Each structure stands twice: as structure tokens, then as C-alpha cells.
Structure 1
Amino acid sequence: MDDAEQNLAFRQLNGIALAYLGDAVYEVSIRRHLIDQGLTRPNQLQHKATRYVSAKAQAGLIALMEEDDLLTDEEWYFYKRGRNAKSYTHAKNTSVITYRVSTGFEALFGFLSLSGQAERLQTLAQWCIEQVEAGRVRYAK
């Protein structure tokens, strides 16, 4: 598959498939950050990671991205594809709306990964980390 075909292929993926990858990509960024901070105990890592990767945190981060006018039109498009995608799984410990918004957040990261925008992906992941650590995130219900 050449570059043009790969570009077309990821653009045709549904929002849930993008979110599937985006969830893993974002989680790796957070795990690396926590280990870089010197955290090593699994229960400590898991507890800290939740502040960044929970559906409630991701929904709060999307709200901040909108408030700060951080995303491009194309990034909003892929976020909305994920948010609006028909999911056959259900929200755990959160509302359906929060779950859908977090699915959009993950789709955004999946899009950035598949489109080869590693630098932009890392910039957004770092921005998310900074917002959580600054206490700016209003966790959705």
C-alpha cells in the first residue's frame, strides 16, 4: 500500500476504530509520563493514570481544547466522527454523553497517529498532561 492509499484507508475508518487505536496511543503517552516521573508501583501508576485517561478526564480535556481553540477544523472533524459513532459498548461509571465525548477524544488521537502526525500528537498529549497537572480539568459527571 503506498502513501496515498494509506491516507485514504485511515480516512475511511469508522470513529470506533479510530478511537480503539487512539485509546492505546494516548494511554502510552500517559504511562511514559508517569514512569518518567519516577512512579513504579503498578497500583500507584494505575491510580495516577486515571486522572488523565478516564472518560471523565478526556471529556474535560475536550472542553478545554474547545475553550482554548486548540484544534484544527480537520481535528474537530475526526473528534466528531468518534463522538457520533454508533458504539455497541456501554459507558462504565459515567454518562452516555461523557462516554461518547471521550470516544471522540480517542478518535482524535487515533486519527493523528494514523495520519503520521506524531509531532502534533505529542504536542496535544503534553498539553493534556499540563492541563491535568495544573488542575484545569473539570471532570465530567
Structure 2
Amino acid sequence: MLMQINMTEQEANQYSPLALAFLGDSVYEQLVRERILLAANMPANKLHKLAVSRVCAEYQSECVEMLTEQGAFTEKEQEVFKRGRNTKVNAPKHSTIAEYRNATGLECLFGFLYLTAQNERIEELFGKCWEHGAEEFNIKIKE
């Protein structure tokens, strides 16, 4: 992570869900890009295509469903996720509204965790997301 921010939960809660999602989107994407780069040395256009497959709303929504089924979220994390998911958003172009809302909720949570310096928790949740669909992803790397 680039900066070490250490807000209290109360301070982080002062930000709107969309502001948290704005930050969380970049945190999530940076983690995706790092994992892809470390997995394979390949041309930038292929790196980009692989990253897009992991940062899209459809994939993030699948991660949310998997994490929810596993009971992976704490009560507080569930609350933050729901704040993001239930925020009014514009109609998405490449996903369903349900997928987009789930993705926004996940990004909101990642933004909140980042602001409150819960980096180990970010890594734990992201690791579970990364493993979701890992076999398919490994095939794409080899293509």
C-alpha cells in the first residue's frame, strides 16, 4: 500500500459510501495488478486484459456472494458493505444493477478497511477473492 492512513472507525464513517468505494476501487485494483504482475511476465496489453477480468463488477459480485456464503464478513464489515451496496448509483453499462451494487459494496468495504489501517484484513478478504476462479485465471495466463 502506498500510504499508511490510520483513522478511527468513527472518522472513516464520516465519508460517504461512494467516497469509500472510490478509494476502495483503487485499493482492490492495485492488489489485482500486483498479483497479476507477480504471476506472469507478459506484455502490458495482456496484463490489462487479465486485470479487467478481475476488477469488473461481475467478478466482484461473485466474490461478494462467495464471501457471504462463507460468513467471511464481521458484523461491522457487513454494515459497511451494506452502506455501499444500498447507495444510489447510476445504471451500469456492462453488468446488472445487482452486480454493480455488490461491487460498490465490496469497494466501499475495502476503502473503509484501508482508511482504518486494517491491511491484514484487506489481504485476507482479497486472498479469498483471488482464489475464487483461480483455475480459470491460471489457464488465461498460459494462453
TM-score using structure 1 length: 0.86
Q: Is the 8 A contact 2:6 2:116 kept in 1?
A: no
Mark the runs of 5 or more structure 2 residues left unpaired by the alignment: 137-143
Q: Is the 8 A contact 1:61 1:128 kept in 2?
A: yes
Figure out how many residues of one structure are paired with residues of the other and give that number. 132
Query: 1:14: Cα distance to partner?
Result: 1.2
Q: Distance in 1 between matches of 2:50 and 2:16?
A: 30
Compared CA separation, residues 42 and 86, structure 1 to 2 (3 A): same
1:106-121 superposed matches below 5 A:
106-121=107-122
Mark the runs of 5 or more structure 1 residues left unpaired by the alignment: 136-141
Aligned partner letter, 1:59:
S
Compared CA separation, residues 44 and 71, structure 1 to 2 (3 A): same
TM-align CA RMSD: 1.9
Compared CA separation, residues 54 and 5, structure 1 to 2 (3 A): closer
Query: 1:56: Cα distance to partner?
Result: 0.1
Query: 1:57: Cα distance to partner?
Result: 0.2
Percent identity between matched residues is 33
Query: 1:96: Cα distance to partner?
Result: 1.4
* Runs of 4+ displaced beyond 3 Å: 3-7
Post-superposition Cα deviations, 1:99-124, rounded to whole Å, max 9, x if no partner, equal 11110011011111011101110111
Aligned partner letter, 2:57:
A
Give the equivalent residue in structure 1 for 2:124.
123
Q: Distance in 1 between matches of 2:8 and 2:79?
A: 19
